[in-house]
Amino acid sequence: MSVVAFAQLLLPDSPYAMWVRGELGEYLRLPDDGTRVEVIGGEIVVSPAPVYAHGGILSDIQRGFERAWFVDPAFPWRGVQAVNLDLIEIGDGYIPDMVVVSKDTDADKRAEDVLHLRPHELELVVEVTSSSNARHDRRPMFGRQIKPTKWSGYARTGVPYYLLVDRDPRQPGVTLFGEPNRGEGMCEVLGEWKFGESVRLPEPFDVEISTDAWKPWSA
């Protein structure tokens, strides 16, 4: 399950600063088994490596972009999985399941061998929920205290589109968010699909993604 760090954890620097320098995981002595450490809303969140079905969904999404590229060699978008995203404006550091960038950005970042991307370099982010971290991917829950999530973080930093694949058996489905309001940290629902339906991402992507094999996680 995901673990959120509390104030009692003493660090030599802020979680964000250590994450940006690539020191946070080592300081926490995390195993080298795919475990991820992120800073969400200023808090440290540690999540286990995703299960196979999670990776299969990402492969299906990436295949949709690769198919569009195959049909049209001038197709301008590239999908990349599990990159570090430095949200310097809000002091957070995420590892999105997938990002979509322009082919020029892709070429530049490969040549530079960079450690992080920045939100303004992305056109789309993709998150696939797991039972351990779904609450961090969705919009914040309203209650006594509204804690920031990746949903609000992506909006606050102006990421144009956010594709959320929610595998929760209570509410499985796919949602495309967009039109981010940076001041409010909110974005609008642009499309919704059930598992089994074909997801058609609108312009500027015009990509079709099959969800026939997508299923909720085991209850």
For the cut 50, the answer to whether the pLDDT of residue 96 exceeds it is yes
pLDDT level of residue 10 (50, 70, 90 thresholds): confident
99-106 long-range contacts, Cβ below 8 Å, gap at least 24? 99/124, 99/125, 99/126, 100/65, 100/124, 100/125, 100/126, 100/161, 100/205, 101/77, 102/76, 102/77, 102/78, 103/75, 103/76, 103/77, 103/78, 106/78, 106/80
Instruction: Check residue 1 and give its pLDDT.
Output: 44
CATH 3.90.1570.10 residue window(s) in the chain? 51-209
Question: What is the topology classification, in CATH, of domain 51-209?
Answer: tt1808, chain A (3.90.1570)
Q: 141 falls in which pLDDT band (50, 70, 90)?
A: confident
Spatial CA neighbour of 88 closest among 178, 23, 12, 153: 153
- The C-alpha atoms of residue 204 and residue 219 are separated, in whole angstroms, by 36
Q: What is the pLDDT of residues 120-137, one digit of tens each?
A: 999 999 999 999 889 999
